[in-house]
Structure 1
């Protein structure tokens, strides 16, 4: 019964039937994991038949079970594995579970369990796996835990466990992984004898309050590959005995009180397999070791991550770094390093992340830095070794709810040089860094103009130039940076009009403050006619945009790396706080909501449209403010090109989604109201219903029906167990429903609507997993009453039809292409562009076409769907999808034809003209 769409409580009649089967010896396994079952976990399968129960495997994980685990499990005399992680269970461990002495595995992570672990756990002498992480357990680790001599995996991290590591733990000679990170443990570990843990490969003691020197006997654990001791109170020096750990690949001792950095680096250079080394926030006020002290040219030959930030080092950037040819990430931030940035950094072929911020660096931005191979060549960046970390990096080491990252490549290609004393102009050669995602040059002494060549950085997401002495105008070409989500040129000497359009319509006034000669609506200073952009500037900008759009359609390889940052929030190692962490940077949202908090409670009545889904009778702007907590960032549930989407629970208990449109949408208020009211007539069971709108002091809000299950993108690509819960019938139903919604837009509603941005994140799912197309018609708010929509960039990377690189027109056939990509997502479970795949299979459409040409179309299907008896149906849908993504738009079917084909899947093979 696992990995389905079951919900509600488990029927008592089913449980009684299974209990009877258990009594007869026929029930050995009961697995309901990865569903949406609610209520309490039933233990009756054991309680009535303790003497004859044959049940060996019980899995309730990844559901919505609540409450305490009731007694009864102890009666399952032959139960070997019990799993109930990822639920909302609370209360203590049931005492009788310690009577199930056959248990080899207890896995209950990611719940709300509390109380102490209890000494009774040591009765389970056969236990090999104990996973209780991410709960609320308190008290000490059981003092006699060493009696669990077969224990291999002990994962207790992210609780509130106190005390110290019990000495008996050292008797668990079969331990392979021990993780107690993020607890309240303390004590001097140097008295513990780790030398008996010869099988131990991963040890994580981070984020506790351990003291003393690093445990000397730890160096006897020859199998260790990963050690995290970060964020404790260890002191002293790294012992030469560490050279016994020649298998060690990951070492983090950040945020402690170690000394003698020169001695530490000399020793660690001898560990031939070391690839990740994080020593930040130690060695306070020492000198950065120079070439005279570090003389081993063969050291650190496998090092990929080197973090030495936050140590207050003096000295200069050492030249011995030039020997680290595998180096990908270098963090020397938050020190007192002086001198200039060495030009030889560009000889490090795999370096894509440099953080030299918060130092005392002087001199110019070396043009040599613009020739870093992994930042100038997409091919070079793609060939950087994609290493999986033995222990993950965490978004915030002190917050269990944050994400973890298992690959170095999850970090964005970035250069951080902020808060130094660099001077001179920003070189025009900076436009060569086309792989770059983030650039921070803030709070230096740069002067001259902002180079228009920055607009060549087509992957750029964050650009910080504030706090310098820059002059001239903001290049209008920067608005062609369609992925730019954070931008600041505040506190310079800039002048002229602030560009509008593109991402510039999403930036607040704080991005431009401190430049008194800048003008534009965002800073509430009007521009004189002579301050406008010249016709020549317009022509130049159009060329840049055209070039970018063509690259988006035909040169997708140059965009692939941005997808990681598009999907995963932005990260950076930050020695200013907990250095053994990756700091998430979310999309910048201005604290100014756009609606004054003191708005009249009776003012601005919201216009509501009558339709069968609308349960709201009346509504005011004040009630919207209250429901969204004045458009608090905590209530954001979506972000798109047209603005942010907020979840709001209204006074009558109805939950709605409120889209706050961003930027100047080009319509006067009267025109806007007329257009929105026209859109409200587009009503179909497979469209997200527009329930109302409000215009108040220039802020424009659209109110939609809230979709309980979020987007198709979330279920296919974001939710850990999402794909396994979407079986083929459900995926086919989603495709059928979405096609019907799109067909209504294209052929029935008047005037016809071109969506222009069909993608899995714009297909929302209700509580029954029925598909609803979202964001339809919003493009018409830019140019109303047109069935073609002319924009600077149409669509989303991976879904963009090839012809959009040749013309500025979004068409019905373009929508069909994008929908074909969505069908391929449903069939394969893959993203349209996936950097984690081998180079030849990163682009979904091209890969599918290659597989079909080689007669390997069966390999296209999601492994979770294979062997379930739906191969013929999936083949029919694959044929339809490939017709939709035909390179020639005139050979694509109409959406009405697609609807008919999908409707007939499974009953009779759709008749398709494949010519």
Structure 2
């Protein structure tokens, strides 16, 4: 008995010891921990409670937004958590996750190619996601709800819904989607809610007619053709803003019996023309079927066949000639772009009102007289109209460098002078067709730029907390920094994707270039931070926020924007661009000029931000996305051509915002009024319409002569063709006449 009692005591002690040791061991599956750590890095180290860079126990330590079942992460719920960065490929490594809700944040980059096969609910709406919808959705057979609305996703909707029979809700609205609906949508046998509004989708709706839809919104697209009758029975069906046919597509008729196609041959001597039809008559016999037609019908068929044969021979000959010509042109320089394949519609803005997006136009004309030779000679070039200018020598490649730096294209016949030591070769990020350029590494001027540490900036921003958050852009988030001496600064924290675009040396060179910008209407760079693989830029702080907020969200500041204040703001912004375009050597383009980048100080003086960041903004991952999504871009922007005249166009859009009080792009307005330029252009030269479009906050407190002159300036700035837009220095002189 005594021995048995000792054994029982020993087992109890072992059990207690094992329980104590298990409390030390992490509960969470190691694979899920690794996925959480990777996601933390991709999101830019957000200040989320419990989240760690390496290791940790998400389930045992109750990490913010994480739900678990036993040792597995089953849900990520971080809606409206002020997240930035991007998603990367970390989500696919979760082994048991069911719900992912990262909506209402500032997450950029592409949607992950693959998502966990166990996921059922995914919400990434109201972010800044780019790229296209991934084909990896085809593997999510358990998916029930998918929300990707209110992002900047483009391209076609992939035809990947064959196995998604459990999907009940799909929201792809308010993006830039194009193309037609794929046939695999017919397999969504459980789909009850489908939102596709505010895109540029085209084609017919036939693939949707047999789905169990209860809520369908396809407003503001390019759908055409008759509306299937079955869709009209959907309880909540919104279809406005599409060029539909007025004809209702009837349900398919039942197959006709074979006997209905059988008729008797006309009797001998009977005139077939007196019969019910002159079409061919089908005759059925027990031995088969034969086709009896009039001789005239055969003559017509033979004639049509002959014409088609002649046309086909002509096309074959034309194709052969063009192939021979193309072979002869193989020795032409790769710099010469084929104009035949790059012609776009030359219709005016007024004729493009039905388009959902600013029309894409490839501007293949030479730049307005700022050729590469003038930069190579180290002097300011005068505007010219040289039609032989290489289309690849765009002004957008004129990044701000030391005046002594050689900017010669390495692929040209004329050889550049020998580079100075420590040259850094890299491909021009502004012009996707441009050759490699070289630039000399410079260190920031220590007398004008301060070097901050991560620790100090975390202290000044309360670890980049939400209370210090100012705003977010495509390059990262901005936070207010409170220094011990009560001085305020603005800290732009570049996201991880932007940081990867440049090496440390290139970033220091960028800082050096920005530090040399000195103008009263340009936000001054105070310092920078580059440590622990993070990049931050520190600027002076403007207390009245952005012009965009003043016009569209802050009524108190909006009331202070009188006519004279608005003209002063426009003049200050124009002078900032004039400094960049015509004073800096070499000239600079802003490349992201919009009202959200115009800051107002306590005296409502304007200061342009993001100057000198074109090497980051124009990276291949962001090109064609920034201004296009907000209605501020010039027509040539999406073709990869961006010059100083493109900045002038965007400046004209900002002046339209000042004039009307409207946003450059406003989804909430009727379809014909969503894009400010399209809506305003027909009214700029009609004095009555012009008076009605002025911002109501002005209460008529302006001179009609000033209004008319401002309308003329705006009209010249937003001209479709870049060569007809005036240089910014002329705009400054015109605005001085108004003020």
> TM-score per shorter chain, which class?
0.3 to 0.5
The higher-RCO structure (CA 8 Å, 6+ apart) is 2
Q: In proportion to residue count, which structure has more helix? A: 2
Q: State which structure, 1 or 2, has the greater radius of gyration over its C-alpha atoms.
A: 2
Q: In proportion to residue count, which structure has more strand? A: 1
With structure 2 as the length reference, what TM-score do the two structures score? 0.41
